[in-house]
Structure 1
Amino acid sequence: MTSDRVNGALVIRTALAAEAGTIADLHFRARSTYYPDGVPQADVDWTDAWRGSIERTDGRVLCAVERGRIVGIASFRTPDGAPADQVKLFQFHVDPGHWRAGIGTALHSACVAQWRADGRRTAVLDVHVDNRRAQSFYARQGWIPDPENPPAEGDHHLFLSFAVPPRE
């Protein structure tokens, strides 16, 4: 999968296993912006986790590349036990140094195009309650609170859903 921004500087493509370390670093930098007391699971080998996500046959990891550098990532797949027409967006991050440059919007559009091509009708995600920036971004893209999954008391995540638009 490839997608180009108007000026041609941004390419969105499938991530490579060899890029797992770079993706893990971006993931950590982005998550560090919204956890007030430090990133949980900081001791997890995120490089290995990302390599596993990239190599999964039942999902996909897309990366946004600008001038040869990965500046955004998205990971999604059908969660265990979910209907075949549902997809879960597990990770979606843009490098904080590249916020407000249209990268997230382009990456989200590429995800939606892939979901549509895969026959998905609904997408779901969970977002940390302290991540107001992401919540605003998702709302602008058309995500709404998931009526099937209201937040549990004490949970630190909001659950959102997105109706994947049909093919045009």
Structure 2
Amino acid sequence: MIRPAVIEDLDAICDVHARARATYYAGHLPADAYSGPEELERQRAGTARAIASREHTVLCATRDGRVVGFAVVGARFDEDKLFHFHIDPEVWRTGAGTALHQECVVVWRAAKLTSVRLEVFAPNARARAFYTSQGWEEDGREDDHVLMRLRLPAGD
């Protein structure tokens, strides 16, 4: 099930975020950079702000009442960007990511967007393959990130 996040989801979202990030940053960045107390608090505060914001939509993927994924979408630099899209590694390849992505597309189309962009940590080949399977195309590189773009079909 995909639904809007509420502030009561914050702990579960932060847990999913920490587990997911550890799968692709480990071995590439120092642990404090992605799981140190300061970084975890920064991520928590940012997610809480996004949930409370009118400028962002935060979606949760749930299974059996448990948050197993989340996405934060919102405007940045005059174009919409998917800020975060994370699925609990325990449920990878079960359809949760695809369902969550489909709902992100619904949000973007409702906003009448024709194109959206995101950044993916370059060594995260699994995520890049997932986005490619959803129709995203590489659109450049920026430091250690791959920029990707999804062109959205015009709505009715």
TM-score (norm 2): 0.90
Q: Give ranges in structure 2 of 5+ residues lacking alignment.
A: none
Per-residue CA distance 1:79-133 (angstroms, 9 max, x = gap) = 03x1xxx310000010000000011111000100111111111110000011110
1:11-160, aligned counterparts within 5 Å?
A: 11-35=1-25, 36=27, 37=29, 38=31, 40-41=33-34, 42=36, 43-44=38-39, 45=41, 46-80=43-77, 82=78, 86-146=79-139, 150-152=140-142, 155-160=143-148
Specify which structure has the higher proportion of helix. 2
Q: Residues 113, 39 of structure 1: CA spacing in aligned structure 2 closer, same or farther, 3 A cutoff?
A: farther
Cα drift, residue 47 of structure 1: 2.2
Per-residue CA distance 1:3-37 (angstroms, 9 max, x = gap) = xxxxxxxx101100121121011101000001124
Per-residue CA distance 1:49-95 (angstroms, 9 max, x = gap) = 21111111111110001110000100011103x1xxx3100000100
Structure 1 moving runs of 4+ over 4 Å = none
Q: Give ranges in structure 1 of 5+ residues lacking alignment.
A: 1-10
Cα distance in 2 for partners of 1:64, 1:166 equals 26
Cα drift, residue 39 of structure 1: 6.0
Cα distance in 2 for partners of 1:19, 1:113 equals 21
Cα distance in 1 for partners of 2:126, 2:154 equals 28
TM-score (norm 1): 0.84
Cα distance in 2 for partners of 1:50, 1:58 equals 12
Aligned partner letter, 2:80 = V
